[in-house]
Amino acid sequence: MAHIVAEPCVGCKFTDCVEVCPVNCFYEVADRLYINPDECIDCTACVPVCPVAAIFAEGDLPDKWKSFIDENRNNCGTGASITVKKDALGKDSPKCKH
C-alpha cells in the first residue's frame, strides 16, 4: 500500500519529503507534489518531515481526501520527478490553507 499526498499540500508544496525518500517517487506540478504509488515502497520516511501533515498511508487517508488516491496515481506522470528540496510556495501562499 502506497502513501498519498493529500489536500494540505495544495498551494503549499513544501519539499522536505523528497530528500528523505529512498526511491525518489515524488513528482511536482505547479502547486503540489504527488507520490507515484507504483514506486512508493511504504517506508514512511516522508510522513514525519511534512510540515503540513499532507502525507498519509493509503489506508489512513481521511475519507474527505479519498479522491487524492486516484489523483496521485493519475497525475504523478504529469509532473517532473523531484529529488532535491526547493523553496516552498509556503504558508504565506494564498492557496496554502495551513
- List domains and CATH numbers for the chain: 3-81 (3.30.70.20)
Q: What is the longest distance spanned by two Cα atoms in the chain?
A: 33
Condensed to tens digits (0 to 9), the pLDDT of residues 39-80 reads: 999 999 999 999 999 999 999 999 999 999 999 999 998 999
b/e code 46-59 from CB counts within 10 Å (16+ = b): bbebbebebbbebe
Handedness of CA 68, 73, 75, 81 (dihedral sign): positive
CA angle 67, 71, 84 (to 5 degrees): 130
pTM given for the model = 0.92
Condensed to tens digits (0 to 9), the pLDDT of residues 2-35 reads: 999 999 999 999 999 999 999 999 999 999 999 9
CA 77/CA 44 separation, integer angstroms: 22
